[in-house]
């Protein structure tokens, strides 16, 4: 009798351990996917012509121009022969929530005129071949003009560099474990326009 009780407790402990490991693995897959996609957008914005970036940043909230980013996704490739598709990001602040077809923008809670660029992302595939997707939202902000002071001994020089700060906030929810709630992340990078100096 005591042996059965010990065996039952051991079996329950191992079962909960396996379930917790599976849960953590699923959350890590979703987190890595979310950060990889955000990093992909940032890498593209580091190589896009600075004029396009600054035009998007200064285009205004009512007639916004997008940052011309691209994506590769099974979700779009399954319905098209194109490997790459246009996947623009709009820069906040925006008041026009329908700037183009096939673009979904929703207001960001707690901010004035900031919006989420809503993207549908495939994170896995079922045994029957249907994709498992999640929604990831991106809020892009670009701050222009970075100035700095350089001090060398007793000499101080004020230098304004043609540069801008790119900030990409994002949020996502694990579809398998919605009770965990919405997770957030931010990537920032400063980019200089050396050719413009």
Query: What pLDDT is attached to residue 82?
Result: 62
Domain around 67: 2-196
Exposed / middle / buried, residue 135 (Cβ in 10 Å: 0-12, 13-18, 19+): middle
pLDDT tens-digit map of 66-107: 899 888 776 665 555 666 788 889 988 888 888 877 788 888
Query: What pLDDT is attached to residue 85?
Result: 81
165, 149 in Cβ contact below 8 A?
A: no
46, 189 in Cβ contact below 8 A?
A: yes
What are the DSSP E strand ranges found in the chain?
Answer: 66-67, 70-71, 85-86, 89-90, 104-107, 115-125, 131-152, 155-172, 183-192
Task: Using the structure block, give the residue that is written with the tokens 């959350």.
Answer: 27
Nearest CA to 108 out of 86, 91, 87, 133 is that of 91
For 148, phi and psi rounded to 5 degrees? -150, 160
- Number of domain units in the chain: 1
pLDDT tens-digit map of 130-165: 888 888 888 888 876 655 555 666 666 665 666 788
């Amino acid at each position: 009798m005591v042996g059965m009780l010990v065996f039952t407790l051991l079996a329950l402990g191992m079962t909960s351990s396996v379930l917790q490991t599976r849960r953590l693995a699923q959350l890590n897959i979703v987190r890595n996917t979310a950060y990889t996609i955000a990093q992909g957008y940032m890498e593209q914005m580091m190589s896009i012509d600075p004029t396009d970036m600054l035009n998007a940043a200064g285009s205004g909230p009512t007639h916004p121009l997008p940052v011309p980013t691209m994506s590769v996704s099974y979700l779009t490739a399954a319905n098209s022969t194109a490997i790459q598709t246009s996947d623009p990001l709009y820069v906040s602040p925006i008041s026009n929530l329908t700037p183009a077809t096939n673009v979904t923008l929703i207001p960001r809670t707690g901010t004035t005129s900031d919006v989420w660029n809503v993207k549908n992302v495939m994170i896995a595939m079922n045994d029957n071949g249907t994709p498992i997707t999640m929604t990831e939202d991106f809020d892009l902000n670009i701050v222009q003009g970075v100035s700095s002071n350089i001090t060398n001994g007793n000499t101080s020089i004020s230098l304004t560099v043609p540069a801008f700060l790119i900030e990409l906030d994002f949020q996502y929810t694990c579809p398998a474990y919605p009770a965990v709630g919405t997770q957030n992340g931010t990537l920032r990078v400063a980019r200089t326009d050396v050719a413009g100096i």
